């Protein structure tokens, strides 16, 4: 990867450098001999370090934004209709209602299907899955 693409790649991952001096430090660390290139492993190390440095507020905002993608910006809960829309949008025609219902029940602890999935339940599922 070219060092001049490091900023763009970090921004694409939602991990933008906080300042131009941070970007300069990153580039100096991953390309100490100023070749203009860095290895994939070096970039992954930088991205991983930035991920671990994120605060709880940033993580909460990310979870909330993901939840609102499911609920189309409403407060929730995530319903069967929301999941149907997502599968339709993703052109996942082979996912039936039984599987979607099972997903809701798994997420809400086997609660009544009509109660859907709350933000806290969504956060818990995403955490268990290693997404957040």
User: Residue 40 above 80 pLDDT?
Assistant: yes
pTM for this one?
A: 0.60
Nearest C-alpha neighbor of 100 from the set 89, 116, 111: 116
Place of tokens 């939840």: 67
pLDDT tens-digit series, residues 53-104: 876 777 788 889 999 999 999 988 999 999 999 999 999 989 999 999 999 9
Nearest C-alpha neighbor of 5 from the set 45, 48, 17, 33: 17
pLDDT, residue 60, reads: 85
CA distance 105 to 109: 6
Go through the domains of the chain in sequence order and give each one's CATH number. 3-53 (no CATH), 56-128 (1.10.238.10)
Point out which residues pair with 37 in neighbouring strands. 2
User: Residue 3 above 90 pLDDT?
Assistant: yes
Nearest C-alpha neighbor of 78 from the set 62, 60, 63: 63
pLDDT, residue 26, reads: 95
């Amino acid at each position: 990867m070219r060092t001049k693409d490091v900023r763009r790649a970090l921004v694409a991952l939602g991990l933008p450098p906080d300042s131009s001096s941070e970007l300069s430090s990153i580039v100096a660390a991953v390309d100490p001999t100023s070749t203009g290139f860095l290895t994939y492993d070096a970039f992954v190390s930088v991205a991983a370090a930035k991920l671990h440095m994120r605060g709880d507020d940033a993580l909460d905002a990310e979870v909330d934004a993901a939840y609102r993608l499911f609920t189309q910006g409403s407060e929730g809960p995530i319903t069967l209709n929301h999941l149907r829309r997502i599968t339709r949008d993703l052109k996942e025609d082979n996912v039936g209602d039984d599987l979607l219902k099972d997903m809701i029940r798994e997420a809400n602890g086997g609660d009544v299907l009509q109660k859907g999935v709350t933000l806290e339940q969504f956060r818990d599922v995403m955490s268990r899955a290693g997404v957040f």
